[in-house]
Amino acid sequence: IDSPLSPSEVNEGPIFVNASVAPLVEVRGLHKRFNETEVLRGIDLDIGKSEVVCVIGPSGSGKSTLLRCLAGLETYDEGEVRIEGELLGYRERHGRRVRASSAEINRVRRNIGMVFQQFNLWPHMSALDNVMEALLRVRRFSRHEARARADLMLETVGLSHKGDAYPAKLSGGQQQRVAIARALAMEPHIMLFDEPTSALDPELVGEVLQVMKQLARDGMTMAVVTHEMGFAAQVADKVVFIDQGRIAVQGKPREVFHDAKHPRLRQFLQNYF
């Protein structure tokens, strides 16, 4: 007798269609105020898995605030930020929105890595210990496991030979690469970069961008606030121009850089090209 659910029928075909197509990051109608000042004024943004989104825009336009909202480092006033489908910062209770506990926020944040303009390494720890610290304390790795992971991460950023060095003995570019290794060690599903090369001497910018390019090639999902238009043109799947708390233009690098019709974008890009 042919069962309507014979194994061959059940296993054939794309049963899990749509199971994993949701964007890794979904931002809808995001508003953020600092006191009276509305800094983000309705941001809508999707970041798909393995997508690289570069965020550009004038100083004070809200780029860092947006990234901090994505990282769960900042509360927001309206709208939604979802990471892998999970609402960040709030929780629904009886149809109303209540602030999530710090434990809930930390659970979502666990999958988000962030790298800042200032490298924020612990000065009293070697490069290796900087990378191992959160593995030991947060992830509860054994020293042996943490050491193995940290070695691998330093190798990934080309600093295998600098494990014992203290931050003060490293160049800015090397410190930033350690900061990247430290974030990667936690196995984030997305990496957020806020002007990672802006504090660097010009000759050190390239080595950090190189590491980020490799990361992108390896399929890491990334949001990068940057003034490095060459990097954005080369690496971004999508470029987002933020102006006065709104996304004024977004599209493929070619569209944003070459077909710039938006007057404020043209004006902004004139400083770079």
C-alpha to C-alpha distance for 192 and 25, rounded to whole angstroms: 11
C-alpha to C-alpha distance for 19 and 253, rounded to whole angstroms: 29
Q: Are 77 and 33 in contact (CB under 8 A)?
A: yes
Q: Are 205 and 173 in contact (CB under 8 A)?
A: yes
* Closer residue to ligand ADP, CB minimum distance, 157 or 247: 247
Question: In the bound complex, what is the minimum distance in angstroms from residue 244's beta carbon to Mg ion?
Answer: 14
Question: In the bound complex, what is the minimum distance in angstroms from residue 39's beta carbon to ligand ADP?
Answer: 4
Q: Are 28 and 85 in contact (CB under 8 A)?
A: no
The residues that touch ligand ADP, with contacts defined as CB under 6 A, are: 34, 39, 57, 59-65
Find which of Mg ion, ligand ADP, none residue 130 binds, CB within 5 to 8 Å per kind: none
Question: In the bound complex, what is the minimum distance in angstroms from residue 129's beta carbon to ligand ADP?
Answer: 31
Residue with tokens 């233009």: 249
* Closer residue to ligand ADP, CB minimum distance, 8 or 271: 271
Q: Are 194 and 225 in contact (CB under 8 A)?
A: yes
C-alpha to C-alpha distance for 174 and 82, rounded to whole angstroms: 33
Find which of ligand ADP, Mg ion, none residue 179 binds, CB within 5 to 8 Å per kind: none
- CA distances, 124 to each of 43, 165, 166, 236, 241 (Å): 40, 10, 7, 36, 39
Q: Name residues contacting Mg ion, limited to 230-249 (CB under 5 A).
A: none
x/- binding map, residues 37-76, to Mg ion, per CB under 5 A?
--------------------------xx------------
Question: In the bound complex, what is the minimum distance in angstroms from residue 183's beta carbon to ligand ADP?
Answer: 19
* Closer residue to ligand ADP, CB minimum distance, 63 or 147: 63
Question: In the bound complex, what is the minimum distance in angstroms from residue 14's beta carbon to ligand ADP?
Answer: 42
What does the binding site for Mg ion look like in residue numbers (CB under 5 A)? 63-64
